[in-house]
Amino acid sequence: MPIDTEHFKQKLEAEKASLETELQKVGRKNPDNPSDWEALPPERDTSQADENTVADGIADYEDNNAIVNTLESRYKDVKSGLDKIAKGVFGVCQVCKKEIDFERLEANPAARTCREHMN
């Protein structure tokens, strides 16, 4: 049965928009590489801060960096899924080249592999 790519395109586009919103809360696009995101430093004036305030700022930045890395990874997977739809190769396992079943795609439209080849 052919895959309803329009259904999955809508799901992926909605997830992409949501991820962009979340990424903008903790990061920004890297001005030197627009396909890359980087964490935002905390908005604190540390010019006259004590050691605890500076340490808190560093911890906040590290938290933002971890969040950006996680969201950016998913963002790239979603963009890859949209690219596969555009190229007409959506829903095909990257390992065995068989069609990925509907239930797997419904749960994760950006899936790259079939159930047999998951992690």
What domain range is 58 assigned to? 5-89
| Residue 71 CB-density burial (10 A; 0-12 exposed, 13-18 middle, 19+ buried) | buried
pTM over the 0.95 mark: no
Q: Is residue 73 part of a domain?
A: yes
Q: Is residue 112 part of a domain?
A: no
What is the average per-residue pLDDT within 60-80? 93
User: Residue 49: pLDDT above 70?
Assistant: no
Q: Is residue 98 part of a domain?
A: no
Q: Is residue 99 part of a domain?
A: no
- Number of folded domains that form the chain: 1
**Residues forming beta bridges with residue 38, ordered by sequence position:** 28
Q: How far apart are CA 88 and CA 83, in angstroms?
A: 9
List the alpha helices (DSSP H) in 2-93. Answer: 5-26, 51-87
Q: Is residue 68 part of a domain?
A: yes
Q: Is residue 104 part of a domain?
A: no
> 64: Cβ–Cβ under 8 A, 6 or more apart, which residues?
26, 27, 39, 40, 42
